[in-house]
Amino acid sequence: MKFKGYTILILITFLLSMEKETNSQDRPAYNDLTAQESKVIINKATEYPFTGLYEKFEAKGTYLCKQCGSALYHSDSKFDARCGWPSFDDEISGAVKRVRDADGMRTEIVCASCGGHLGHVFTGEGFTPKNTRHCVNSISLDFVPEVLPAGTYGTALFAGGCFWGVEYFLQKEPGVVAVVSGYTGGHVKNPSYKEVCTGKTGHAETVKITYDTRKTSYEKLVKLFLEIHDPTQVGRQGPDIGDQYRSEIFYKNEEQRKTAAKYLDLLRQKGLKVATELTKATEFYPAEEYHQDYYFRNGKLPYCHGYTRRF
């Protein structure tokens, strides 16, 4: 009987572990968080008022959970409460969960998908007809332009020369819902294009891709990125020369790092002298408005990017 009981216990443990592994595979990988992001999203701290990126932000689109990518708020529900943090009077249905604070005084709001801390919700203040204010930390949010349906979205950060050309090719890929040109990888906060062009900020011209995980994958986007620019060029891309035009993949989590490393290794096995760097993502700063959708608005074609099949 002892042997049978032990065998059953082993079987149950095995089945539970298989279920856990399956569930973890079905669930999209959470993004890695910086120390400051973890302080707010995981440890429930509050960012200083009037310091967040989205406090005075007025663009039309959808706000996502920075940790898991779930859509939380549409810009139509955002209003200026002059409180120092982004304010919304309604959430996307089922996206936000309310949790009573331990002291019973306030109601915390968290992402319903991953439990990440967003802020607090208040009622009865009379700011809008809905009489509700979601007071949210900017650092808990990500943003993509245009209104999206509720769902889960992934983000990717690629630098491969002038961001106009990278943006052009990625925007046409099925499953991609938004591409924003900007700057990342450097040490200067909120850099301008003029500053980045000096090569002294450490930033690279980068595109931030938001994609529907139901329609495409990070793997497909990595492959495409490595086929629309020359990953062997150092500190340049075509006629554009300078460190800001370097080839670099900024990964958001360990799963992205492994995927990108896999395809960089495949290129090396094919005999290419790969210059593309692989770096953990930091803060991304959107570029000036005139850089966005550049080729689509001007009716031109990229001058230093083109498709070359490599996989």
Instruction: Give the side-chain half-sphere CA count within 13 A for 291.
Output: 21
- Residues catalogued as catalytic: 135, 162
CB-CB contact of 152 with 201 (8 Å): no
In the β-sheet with 277-280, what is the strand arrangement from edge to edge? 277-280, 247-251, 153-160, 204-212, 176-184, 285-286
| Cα gap 176→216, rounded to integer Å | 7
**Comparing C-alpha atoms, which of 133, 141, 127 is closest to residue 52?**
141
Query: DSSP label at 95?
Result: S
With contact defined as beta carbons under 8 Å apart, do 76 and 62 qualify? no
Q: In whole angstroms, what is the distance from residue 219 CA to residue 255 CA?
A: 10
Whole-angstrom distance, CA of residue 71 vs CA of residue 178: 14
At 205, the amino acid letter reads E
User: 63, 98 in Cβ contact below 8 A?
Assistant: no
98 DSSP assignment: E
> CA torsion, points 81, 83, 88, 89, in degrees to nearest 10?
-60
Distance CA 245, CA 160 (A): 6
Q: What is the distance between the alpha carbons of residues 213 and 205, in angstroms, rounded to a whole number?
A: 25
